[in-house]
Structure 1
Amino acid sequence: MEFIMDPFRKKDMKKSTPPSAFLQQNNYLKKGGELIITYQLEYYEKNLISSIYIRCLSVYGYMISIKHEEIV
């Protein structure tokens, strides 16, 4: 099983690992005697979250500019 150090850095990904393997792959880490299972996000999901955030900020800015025009 191949592990990927950082899902958001392409240089850490091995070419034989398909992008869809991120959510299917579990990373097991031992910490304080307990087993921690973490799921890594796929690269495109990070970009999707960023674009949604930017769109929300754009809509918010547009609404504020409309409200400012009504006041003036």
Structure 2
Amino acid sequence: MLRQILGQAKKHPSLIPLFVFIGAGATGAGLYILRLALFNPDVSWDRKNNPEPWNKLGPKDQYKFLSVNTDYSKLKKEGPDF
């Protein structure tokens, strides 16, 4: 497969940016899925010791990927303790 891609790149050099962007996009998507699987509070890898990890999040914990205008250090807790 790699030999075929390199052969096409030699015959048509204008395809090289296409191969680069497709490879970078696939790598970025894979890294994002890995980040979600490892650091998202909705994912539980250890069901015996920590069956509900989202209950241990405090109001000051930032778990969003991007937060534009929210300062998590100044938030108050609005819900009950479980």
Return the TM-score normalized by structure 2.
0.37
Larger strand percent: 1
Answer with 1 or 2: which has the greater Rg. 2
Of structures 1 and 2, the one with the larger relative CO (CA 8 A, separation 6+) is 1
